Amino acid sequence: MNGRSESSEKEEEKMKLVVDTNILFSFFWEGSFTKHLLENTSFKFFSPELTLEELKKYSKLIIKKTNTTKKEFNNKLTKLKSIVNFIHKDEFNKFSDIAQQISQDKDDADFLALALKLKIPIWSNDALLKNQKLVKVLSTEDLIDLLF
């Protein structure tokens, strides 16, 4: 025996992804395939803590577009927090300079910095994000191809 438990080996086998804000917006749409992927894959998801602030900032718009209530929104947000590991900027800040340099959109820099820190791909449908070459970016379609 190598001293590692079977559960820790299984944890290492999980695909890990940084998830961008637009993917997480889709979580609030009932019946969305993105929501299904977030809830039903064995992937391990990460996102900058700032993403939570964005979701809260646009909560009224999300509630209106998804025809839900504030309570339902809050319940889904709580569920999302159990699925995604939200990481404080202090934990990936040392990668911010390089992320700013390679990012064509300043709003993507935190996702790039977190992905660089964790050495994992980003799940995003943002075409601009795919233009840089340091971090692999997978679209929802790419994930579907991997899974099915």
Is the pLDDT assigned to residue 63 strictly greater than 90? yes
> Positive or negative, the Cα torsion across 74, 76, 80, 81?
positive
State residue 147's pLDDT score. Answer: 83
Is the pLDDT assigned to residue 10 strictly greater than 70? no
Reported as a single tens digit per residue, the pLDDT across 74-94 is: 999 999 999 999 999 999 999
Which single residue is written with the structure tokens 């961008």? 20
State residue 13's pLDDT score. Answer: 61
State residue 5's pLDDT score. Answer: 42
- The more confident residue out of 119 and 33 is 119
Alpha-carbon distances of 130 from 23, 123, 134, rounded to whole Å: 15, 10, 10
Q: How confident is the model at residue 14 (pLDDT cuts 50, 70, 90)?
A: confident
Could you give the percent of the chain with pLDDT greater than 70?
91
CATH number of 13-147: 3.40.50.1010
The burial of 55, by beta-carbon neighbours within 10 Å (0-12 exposed, 13-18 middle, 19 or more buried), is given as: buried
**82: nearest Cα among 55, 44, 56, 111:** 44
The pTM assigned to this predicted structure is 0.87
Q: Tell me the pairing of strands 122-123 and 84-87.
A: unpaired
Is the pLDDT assigned to residue 132 strictly greater than 70? yes
State residue 84's pLDDT score. Answer: 97
Task: Give the Cα separation of 124 and 21 in Å (integer).
Answer: 8
State residue 4's pLDDT score. Answer: 42
Q: How confident is the model at residue 105 (pLDDT cuts 50, 70, 90)?
A: confident
Task: Give the Cα separation of 127 and 108 in Å (integer).
Answer: 11
